Structure 1
Amino acid sequence: MKNWYHSWRAAVRIARRDAVRSKGRSFLVLAMIALPILGVSAADLTLRSAELSTEQALERTLGAADARMSDAHSGGVPIYQSPDANNYAPVGNFDDKPWPEGDTDVRKVLPAGAKSLEDSAGSAKLRTAHGLLNAEIRELKASDPLAAGIMTLVSGRFPTETAEVAATTHFLETSGLSVGSKLAARGLDREYTITGSYELPDALKSDQVNALPGALLDPLDKALAADDLPSTETSTTYLVSVPGGFTWNMVMQINTKGVTVASRAVQLAPPADDDVPLYQQEDWAKSYGDGGAADVAALAAVGTVVGLAMLEICLLAGPAFAVGARRSRRQLGLVGANGGDRRHIRAIVLAGGLVIGFAAAVVGTILGLALTFALRPLLEDYMGQRFGSFDIRPLELLGIGLLAVLTGLLAAIVPAVTASRQSVLASLTGRRGVRRSSRVLPVVGLIAVLLGAAIALYGSLLSDQSILVAAGSAIAELGVVAMTPVLVGLFGRTGRWLPLSPRLALRDAVRNRGRTAPAVAAVLAAVAGTVAVATYAASRDAQSEASYEARLPHGAVSLIVNEAGGRDVPQARAAVQKNLQVDVRADVDRAVVGNVNCAMYSRDKGCGSYEVVVPKANQCPLWSTGSEDPAEKFTKAQRRAFSKDWRCKESSVATPTDGGVLVADEKLLNVLGIDDPAAAKALSEGKVVSFDKRNLDKKGSIGIRLITDTEAADKAREEGKEAPGAVKTFSTHQVADGTNAYGVGMILPPAAAKAAGIATVPFGAYYSTDRLPSSEQRQKLSGELDRTGASIELHIEEGYTSENSIVLLALAVFAGLITIGAAGIATGLAQADAEADLKTLAAVGAPPRVRRTLSGFQCGVVAAMGVVLGSAAGVLPAIGLRLTEEREERAWYEQALDGGFGGNLTPPDVPIVVPWETLGALLIAVPLGAALLAALVTRSRGALSRREAT
């Protein structure tokens, strides 16, 4: 025991002294290990600090109250609830009875002697410095002790009078208002003074206004009701405090009145599942019972990431320890000459990994703590919630630190074994001897590549388990890593066609595969992952772009005002015309049956509707089966045939009105990009222009049925009859098939509508623009449209916008940094390892620039080999996953065809797209950049050295 302790103590002292002496190499390895530890420790601190304890979460929802009582809206019927009150169900079986509905007065259910505080919430559009902003309105006396902890006051004070409000800091920033400003709600004449700002600890980015109970929501609802507008849909709960708190028995007793209770005492000490009646109901699945699989998947993902990170570090740090051991071979030889055996040599090299790993653990953990503490405000703002506390878990940080020590030891294992096998004579004389590559490892790698490819192929073509694709790809990639030394040797055969400097660099890389292969493997792993994700993302992006259906031509704008009477339409039209670079403006109206002040789709008395008459011969048989199931009326072959029937084809672009009928002139054709002189002439002659030939009868006319009694029409449809109403017939021009009208079914000229006695009201406008509006133009336009007070739908067609461009760029940058870092490390080690060769070149008359160009080519060679191999290895998993998705989508499409739902679908198109921009940056720019960077930072002349004493 004493000998073991003293031998390791001496080994650690030697390793520490060697690390201090070789500061550059030691700092390089320390940084490689410490950076992941910094990131993991910072992530652990952030997640633990953001994770609220039960007490902290209850303080933010209950304040200082004992419970929150809410109406279950079950009409007072007894209910069962979960302990956290998030789930509940009425008592009894309602399969054959109406589901219980109705309100319950929670105040009548309050326990005797309880203190309560009303908490109401709604939403409304509030007038700001820029226009209108939809915000939450919360009526809660925030200054009451029961509400302490729900809102955090930032400045000023909470309201104490009905004419005062407080607002969240985010609302004030967004609205342009401040403490002391006046605030008004749309539809309400009175103003409120903002007395303070606050924040919600769980929702820092919430736009909310706080008022006293009854101060804002009630007057606003009355004003909206007077204008026949929808109410704010207020919900009310009660914060309640009773001596001793709410026990589970008290909660179940209150549940019998149709009221739920979120009790502090119950959530701090939940009852057993057997004591919760809700969990005993048949077919009840507890919400937290499904988390096991997700937890296992999350742990597997974390373990995979940690394992890959350790592999990456070991591949990069291992050569550094190998070079360190080689440069200390004389010292190691002296240890052997003085009686040390192989285990002592191994201990010294392993102690180097232990020392560097321990230092990296300390540095990484301390920096992670400091970084998290310094960035806490930014992290809270990014996550949108305040930390519960700065939660430091010593055992978790210790485990992360031990991971660094373990990584250092693993990286030093192979160099330790290699150093211990050298003879004392070879170590003292500096001779390396003949080194042969392993013959077994490439064979194992080839078998892994073939096996992994077979598994991935099986998973993509024959199995429904996509995990097989990932597993097979991972095995194949590890096989390529194992074959890296052989592949490096194959690259070396291309040196005969290269000039002097790149030929020397390539031969040096091949001759010293012990440091070249790990660096190439590290680059390979990083690039393979990047290429796989980039290929998959680019393929999904291409598929999304192909399936994207534009609502308008590129750059066009549509303005729809969904309000009764269309009073605000002229002002809204002018606002768009004023703020955008409009080329053509086409005003559109909508047809109205009955009262012209009726909103679209209104069911009020006096409000009618209309429908486009589709001749029976043009109706899709699948949709005209009434209440019958198409699967019972038609065979599978017939249902498949209907998917190709023109009568069963529909566009997924939403129509602006019933049947897509718009009242407009020929300008609308210009905006929609329809170049049809015959259609323009037909509109000028008062004819209808149709884009759906199903609406045409045998005479080439279109009929529109005017329905004055909507209830009678609904009843007739339920009986399978035609709705009652007069039918107006119009002469029609049918546009050629395949014309994209972007959801417009037909254009009804104003003259034709007037002649048929159909009333119209302004509906909006369509615009073609010279160019897409800037951000400033959009903001100004939104502000002006908000000032109209109307419900406006504005759409600016920008075409398909890829969301993966930033992802692909980030992946390319990440892989580039890993590649340059690994290549730089390999180059630095090569220079340290081949200093004698460089001095020999200088001695035989090589010009100074040879040293610089050789360094650049050494770095470029490693980067190029890793990028080429990684690109080839990364395409396999992406192709496998895309083939799997294609098979799944094909199966789903076939099922839809069999069910008769294929008329609205197109056959699946699952392309495999190679991101050539990303690959080009990796294959060309990254190796070239690495080579140039290495050449720039390398000195042209090396330091002179004396001949070593023998």
Structure 2
Amino acid sequence: MNRTLNRWRLGLRIARRDALRAKGRSALVVAMIALPILGVAGADLAVRTNQLSTEESLARQIGTADAEYQVYEAGVPIMQHPTNDDLWSSSWEEDDNPRGEEPEAGTEPTDFRVEDHLPDGATVLRERVGYADVTTDYGIMWADIQETDPADPLSRGKYTLLSGEWPTGPGEVAATEQFLRDSGLRVGEDVELPEIDRTVRITGSYELPNDLKSTELLALNDTLLPLLPREDGGDDTRYLVAVDGGVSWDTVMEANTHGLKVLSRQVHLNPPADSEIPLVQRADYHRWGSGGEAELYAVLGVAVALVVLEICLLAGPAFAVGARRSRRQLGLVGSNGGDQAQLRAIMLSSGVVLGAVAAVVGIILGILAVFLARPFLENMNGARFGAWDFRWAELLGVAAFAVFIGTLAALIPAINASRSSVLESLTGTKGVRRGSRALPIAGTIALVGGIALALFGGLSMSSIVLVGVGAVIAELGLVALTPLLVGGFGRLARFLPLSGRLAMRDAARNRGRTAPAVAAVLAATAGAVAVATIIASGEADQRAGYIPDLPDGTVALTVWNAGESQLDPLRAAADKTLPVTDRADLSSAMPALPSCGSGARDEWGNNLADCYIEVVTPPEKVCPLWEDDADHTEEETRELRQDERCMWNNDGGWGLSNLGSIAVGDATILKVLGIDRPEYRETLENGGALIFDTNRIDDDGTVTLHLYDNWDSEKPTDVAVLPDSRLVEGNGYGIDALITPETAEKAGLATTFAGSYYATSHVPTSAEEQAFRGEIDDLTLASTDWRIENGFKADNSMAMLIIALAASVIALGAAGIATGLAQADSEADLATLAAVGAAPRIRRTLSGLQCGLIAAMGVVLGCLSGLVPAVGLVLANHQDRLSWWKEDIAAGWDAGERPELHLALPWETFGQLIVVVPLIALVFAALLTRSRVTLARRAG
């Protein structure tokens, strides 16, 4: 025991002196170990601080009150969970209501008053939330309206005043910072509520600690909301209650019998047992299980394994270089009786010492980073952090982890150093070491097997765990192949100029330090590419599943029960404020029957005189599943669901549904709909019809129309035919056919004007839309309506940029560390170059190219490696959705179209990593390298 202690005491003393003597190399090792420790320690502090305590959470919800009362169903008993606001049950779901009938609207007691059911002697503060249109610097926007007394002691903690003062009268409001940013207004300015023709002054700005992105105005009670024209009240009223002794669970259950939900401070701090909770005792009550925990732990385990691997790959060569530079010292220890265990202890002590230093540096920097980044993190999260929460046991665990991985990184160099002969160590000879032949074979097997396992897990098992394990195995196989691949890259050296040739051959010759650095860059890049690919694929899937009502940016101005002139003010406002280009006026077709009257339509496009047109489906194109006596097997149902006759061919979207089945207009609408093709224009000009559903057109191009004068008619009143029709490859947005006024007249159809539709040069911005609303604020919009199709919104650019930057930093760090080691290990070669007359810039160029080549090799291999887990996870998700779709089809349900696989590659991330990172590495390494070498006598 004493001998072991003495061995480690000596080893630690030597390691400390070596670390101080080789400050540059030590700093590189500390930096590599400290970088992930910084991230882990910072993440631990940020997550713990963001996890609010029960008291902090209650302060943001109910201030200093003892409870919050809210009407859920007035007079209708409910059951609630004491601490989970999402768990509740209404009496109409209970056994005393076996048919599960929800109470009809208006059956609540008309004399119900919440105040009658509050605790006796309670202090009460009423809060009311509604909404209203408000004027801005750009026009009109929608905002929440909060009515309460923010200066009341019960509100303390719910609102934070940032500047100015709280409102004190009916003509004053406070505004959230987000509202001020979106509206362009400032404290001290007036804001108008056009719905009630009232102007109020903004006296201060505030924020909601739990919702920093809220666009809200705060006013005193009964100053704004009662004035707004809301048929249903349009608001939500809650009551903050303070009562001696608090609100017990029995009091909460008593309030539940009157249809009141209660959030009680006392109950949250001291929740009742399950046996005292009626909701939990229900037979159909269940807790959500933790089925996802296994997958979560698997993913976390994979992430930790990759972090350890990456650090060891980078720090290991640094220790190996240190071992080579300490060979004479180790040889002297061996010549004086030191055994292999003593030599191993000396090298392992270097890992312990540098790991401990890295732990201290990483934890301190991680804490400082969170302190500095707190405002940014809070804004990203949309909520303020709670009190600083330092979990010292967890931080000590992080420190121990740093020491562990430092020791692990030094393990292989320690074993190799202990096996070196004393003679080799004292003379400085390197001996002959052949590359391992088994390593490439094992790497190839692991790479192929890992890819196969990941794809199998994604395609056949839909298992995230199998995909993750397969991805790690494949990446380890690629790491094992890295020395061979570096050697392969070295064969390209003869095609490069002098500096590039030297850099490439040096990298290939010293694979012991080059391959781990390349592998480390590979690991960092692979993770970033995997996440970026999954995000890009998810966005592509959402984009494909999004069904727009109209083409992106289209402005629809519609009218019913009125003349076309009613739209003139809206048209003028659109022309003035929106980036409109082409305008198309459309009418709806209707039967020209005497009983159909004027043909006026309601807001849903229904003919007010009960007249309508049906576009007939030819008998041969009728889906067998829709037949009244349809009886098909599961296999037949599955096949018919893929039959074109049983699929909806109008591509979804209902922006033109107010026109009925047939829209009437000229060829301008083709530009608005994005289907302006010569053959379509020719069809319209020749009196034909454009059909948007292949099942509605005969093989000879004829479309049959049934005209009805009553919704209850079983047989059509008349029949019309549209000849020379053409199928359109595009979205009909709710209509079956498009014809010109001349064609409608020829077919015996009447028309009634329905609206104007605009194409735009770009999707209108928020400011442009506010300006439009400002222009129409004073207009009477009876019988008219408008809407703007804003298109699919899923901006992941910030997340992708952060991922790319994080990977770039790690890749640059890895390449820089490898370059620093290369310089430390090649001082003798650089001195030789200088001695034979090489220009000083050769040293800079050589250093830059070494760093750039390592980064380039790593990111290229990493991009390929990162696709393995990404493809596997995307496949697993697709297979999961596909299985659900097949089950729905087998059950005979209309499950829609077969889910498609969307695998999108993040080309911007690829470009940033493959092109930008190596260039930055090259430039920075060249700039930070000294061009002159101090010549010294070469030993040996």
Q: TM-score range by the shorter chain?
A: 0.7 to 0.9
Which residue of structure 2 aligns with residue 271 of structure 1?
272
Q: Could you tell which deviates more after superposition, 651-660 or 634-643? A: 634-643
Verify the 8 A CA contact 2:137 2:183 in the aligned structure 1.
yes
Which residue of structure 2 aligns with residue 308 of structure 1?
306
Deviation at 1:436, TM superposition (A): 3.8
Look up the equivalent residue of 1:131 and give its one-letter code: G
Aligned CA distance change for structure 1 residues 647 and 530 (closer, same or farther; 3 Å): closer
CA distance in 2, matches of 1:405, 1:629: 75
Verify the 8 A CA contact 1:535 1:875 in the aligned structure 2.
yes
Deviation at 1:404, TM superposition (A): 2.0
Please give the residue correspondences for 1:388-467 in structure 2 after superposition, counting only pairs within 5 Å: 388-438=386-436, 440-467=438-465
CA distance in 2, matches of 1:662, 1:602: 11
- Structure 2 counterpart SS, 1:196: strand
Which residue of structure 2 aligns with residue 191 of structure 1?
199
Deviation at 1:323, TM superposition (A): 0.8
Which residue of structure 2 aligns with residue 116 of structure 1?
124
Verify the 8 A CA contact 2:691 2:726 in the aligned structure 1.
no
1:132 aligns with 2:122: no
Deviation at 1:269, TM superposition (A): 0.6
Which residue of structure 1 aligns with residue 328 of structure 2?
330
Alpha-carbon displacement from aligned partner over 1:586-635 (angstroms, at most 9, x marks no partner): 223568988999850399xx966653224475697559958x695x4687
1:360 aligns with 2:358: yes
- Structure 2 counterpart SS, 1:124: strand
Look up the equivalent residue of 1:69 and give its one-letter code: Y
Which residue of structure 2 aligns with residue 52 of structure 1?
52
Verify the 8 A CA contact 1:601 1:609 in the aligned structure 2.
no
CA distance in 1, matches of 2:620, 2:197: 52
Aligned CA distance change for structure 1 residues 458 and 621 (closer, same or farther; 3 Å): same
Which residue of structure 2 aligns with residue 558 of structure 1?
555
Aligned CA distance change for structure 1 residues 22 and 561 (closer, same or farther; 3 Å): farther
Deviation at 1:397, TM superposition (A): 2.0
- Structure 2 counterpart SS, 1:257: coil
Look up the equivalent residue of 2:208 and give its one-letter code: L
Q: Could you tell which deviates more after superposition, 130-139 or 150-159? A: 150-159
Look up the equivalent residue of 1:523 and give its one-letter code: V
Verify the 8 A CA contact 1:552 1:797 in the aligned structure 2.
no
Verify the 8 A CA contact 2:559 2:785 in the aligned structure 1.
yes
Which residue of structure 2 aligns with residue 228 of structure 1?
none
Alpha-carbon displacement from aligned partner over 1:550-586 (angstroms, at most 9, x marks no partner): 7666x87332347875886322222222345554322
- Structure 2 counterpart SS, 1:483: helix
CA distance in 1, matches of 2:142, 2:772: 17
Look up the equivalent residue of 1:237 and give its one-letter code: R
Aligned CA distance change for structure 1 residues 733 and 844 (closer, same or farther; 3 Å): same
Q: Could you tell which deviates more after superposition, 161-170 or 730-739? A: 730-739
Deviation at 1:392, TM superposition (A): 2.0
Which residue of structure 2 aligns with residue 240 of structure 1?
241
CA distance in 2, matches of 1:143, 1:619: 73
Please give the residue correspondences for 1:417-566 in structure 2 after superposition, counting only pairs within 5 Å: 417-438=415-436, 440-492=438-490, 502=500, 504-533=502-531, 557-561=554-558, 565=562
Aligned CA distance change for structure 1 residues 499 and 642 (closer, same or farther; 3 Å): closer
CA distance in 2, matches of 1:903, 1:255: 39
Look up the equivalent residue of 1:838 and give its one-letter code: L
Q: Could you tell which deviates more after superposition, 392-401 or 772-781? A: 772-781
Which residue of structure 2 aligns with residue 343 of structure 1?
341
The Cα RMSD (Å) is 4.1
Please give the residue correspondences for 1:726-875 in structure 2 after superposition, counting only pairs within 5 Å: 732=722, 735-740=725-730, 742-743=732-733, 744-747=735-738, 760=752, 763-768=754-759, 780-781=771-772, 783-784=774-775, 793-795=786-788, 814-843=806-835, 851-875=843-867
1:261 aligns with 2:262: yes
Verify the 8 A CA contact 1:679 1:733 in the aligned structure 2.
no
CA distance in 2, matches of 1:161, 1:534: 52
Aligned CA distance change for structure 1 residues 802 and 134 (closer, same or farther; 3 Å): closer
CA distance in 1, matches of 2:247, 2:546: 54
- Aligned residue pairs total 915
1:95 aligns with 2:98: yes
Look up the equivalent residue of 1:63 and give its one-letter code: G
- Structure 2 counterpart SS, 1:765: strand
Aligned CA distance change for structure 1 residues 801 and 401 (closer, same or farther; 3 Å): same
Which residue of structure 2 aligns with residue 644 of structure 1?
643
CA distance in 2, matches of 1:133, 1:689: 39
Deviation at 1:545, TM superposition (A): 6.8
Deviation at 1:150, TM superposition (A): 1.9
Look up the equivalent residue of 1:944 and give its one-letter code: L
Alpha-carbon displacement from aligned partner over 1:390-427 (angstroms, at most 9, x marks no partner): 22222222222222222222222222222222233322
CA distance in 2, matches of 1:70, 1:348: 69
Which residue of structure 2 aligns with residue 200 of structure 1?
208
- Structure 1 counterpart SS, 2:228: helix
Look up the equivalent residue of 1:153 and give its one-letter code: L
1:944 aligns with 2:919: no
Look up the equivalent residue of 1:37 and give its one-letter code: I
Deviation at 1:131, TM superposition (A): 2.0
CA distance in 2, matches of 1:483, 1:431: 28
Which residue of structure 1 aligns with residue 653 of structure 2?
654
Aligned CA distance change for structure 1 residues 580 and 145 (closer, same or farther; 3 Å): closer
Verify the 8 A CA contact 2:348 2:414 in the aligned structure 1.
yes
Aligned CA distance change for structure 1 residues 540 and 436 (closer, same or farther; 3 Å): same
Look up the equivalent residue of 1:336 and give its one-letter code: G
- Structure 2 counterpart SS, 1:130: coil
Which residue of structure 2 aligns with residue 42 of structure 1?
42
Alpha-carbon displacement from aligned partner over 1:840-896 (angstroms, at most 9, x marks no partner): 344456565654554455445534543454444444444445555665566566666
TM-score, normalised to structure 2, is 0.85
CA distance in 2, matches of 1:402, 1:23: 23
CA distance in 2, matches of 1:570, 1:459: 60
Deviation at 1:53, TM superposition (A): 0.6
Q: Could you tell which deviates more after superposition, 733-742 or 846-855? A: 846-855
Deviation at 1:267, TM superposition (A): 0.6
CA distance in 1, matches of 2:258, 2:431: 89
Q: Could you tell which deviates more after superposition, 61-70 or 302-311? A: 302-311
Deviation at 1:309, TM superposition (A): 1.8
Alpha-carbon displacement from aligned partner over 1:813-863 (angstroms, at most 9, x marks no partner): 555544443333223212221222333344456565654554455445534
CA distance in 1, matches of 2:682, 2:446: 67
CA distance in 1, matches of 2:296, 2:880: 25
- Structure 1 counterpart SS, 2:727: coil
CA distance in 1, matches of 2:89, 2:764: 51
Verify the 8 A CA contact 2:835 2:935 in the aligned structure 1.
no
CA distance in 2, matches of 1:42, 1:562: 58
- Structure 1 counterpart SS, 2:198: coil
Structure 1 gap segments, 5+ residues each:
226-230, 708-712
- Structure 2 counterpart SS, 1:239: strand
Aligned CA distance change for structure 1 residues 784 and 406 (closer, same or farther; 3 Å): farther
CA distance in 2, matches of 1:278, 1:770: 56
TM-score, normalised to structure 1, is 0.85
Which residue of structure 1 aligns with residue 593 of structure 2?
none
Please give the residue correspondences for 1:216-235 in structure 2 after superposition, counting only pairs within 5 Å: 216-221=224-229, 224=230, 231-235=232-236
Verify the 8 A CA contact 1:669 1:680 in the aligned structure 2.
no
Deviation at 1:98, TM superposition (A): 1.9
Please give the residue correspondences for 1:143-162 in structure 2 after superposition, counting only pairs within 5 Å: 143-162=151-170
Aligned CA distance change for structure 1 residues 730 and 769 (closer, same or farther; 3 Å): farther
Verify the 8 A CA contact 2:135 2:774 in the aligned structure 1.
no
Which residue of structure 2 aligns with residue 569 of structure 1?
567
CA distance in 1, matches of 2:553, 2:256: 56
Aligned CA distance change for structure 1 residues 182 and 662 (closer, same or farther; 3 Å): farther
Verify the 8 A CA contact 1:886 1:910 in the aligned structure 2.
yes
Alpha-carbon displacement from aligned partner over 1:368-391 (angstroms, at most 9, x marks no partner): 222322332333223222222122
Look up the equivalent residue of 2:757 and give its one-letter code: Y
1:380 aligns with 2:403: no
Verify the 8 A CA contact 2:295 2:465 in the aligned structure 1.
no
Aligned CA distance change for structure 1 residues 871 and 613 (closer, same or farther; 3 Å): closer
Alpha-carbon displacement from aligned partner over 1:347-387 (angstroms, at most 9, x marks no partner): 33222222222222222222222232233233322322222
